[in-house]
C-alpha cells in the first residue's frame, strides 16, 4: 500500500542510511546500536527505526539487504519505516552499470533465464510505493 510522500514517525528513533548492499555493515550497526526485535534485548517496542534510502547499488549483498528491510517492515509496520533514496529509482540503478542493482540481480540469477529481471521489476514496484522523507 502506498504511503504519503512525507511520513511522520514516533520518537525516539534510530536512523540508518546509505547501506548500499553492505549486509555485514548493517548487521554490525545493529550489533552496536541495537537490533529491531522484540527478542534478545531488542528495543522495537520503544524505538522507531528509520531506514533512509540507498540500500542497493555497489555492495555484494544488495538483495539480502532489501529482503531484510522488507521483512522488518512486514514484522513491525508501525515501528520500521523505509524511506526511498535516489538509488531506489530505476534510472539511478541502471546508470550504475555493473555495480547497479539490476546488474547484481542479473548476475545472481543468471542461470534462471530472465528471473533476475523479474526480481528487479518486482522490487522496484515495491520501491515505487515508498515515501521520500520522514
Catalytic center residues? 87
The DSSP line for 115-127 is HHHHHHHHHHHHH
Nearest to 69 by CA among 100, 79, 99, 98: 79
- What is the rounded CA–CA span in Å between residue 99 and residue 95? 9
Rounded distance, CA 94 to CA 71, Å? 25
Evaluate whether 9 touches 81 at the Cβ level (below 8 Å).
Answer: yes
Amino acid at each position: 500500500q502506498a504511503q504519503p510522500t512525507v511520513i511522520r514517525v514516533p520518537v525516539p528513533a534510530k536512523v540508518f542510511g546509505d547501506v548500499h548492499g553492505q549486509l555485514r555493515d548493517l548487521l554490525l550497526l545493529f550489533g552496536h546500536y541495537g537490533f529491531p526485535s522484540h527478542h534478545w534485548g531488542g528495543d522495537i517496542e520503544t524505538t522507531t527505526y528509520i531506514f533512509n534510502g540507498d540500500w542497493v547499488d555497489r555492495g555484494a549483498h544488495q538483495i539480502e539487504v532489501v529482503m531484510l528491510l522488507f521483512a522488518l517492515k512486514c514484522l513491525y509496520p508501525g515501528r520500521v519505516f523505509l524511506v526511498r533514496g535516489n538509488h531506489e529509482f530505476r534510472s539511478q540503478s541502471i546508470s550504475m552499470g555493473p555495480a547497479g542493482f539490476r546488474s547484481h540481480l542479473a548476475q545472481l540469477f543468471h542461470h534462471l533465464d530472465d528471473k533476475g529481471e523479474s526480481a528487479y521489476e518486482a522490487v522496484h514496484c515495491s520501491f515505487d510505493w515508498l515515501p521520500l522523507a520522514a
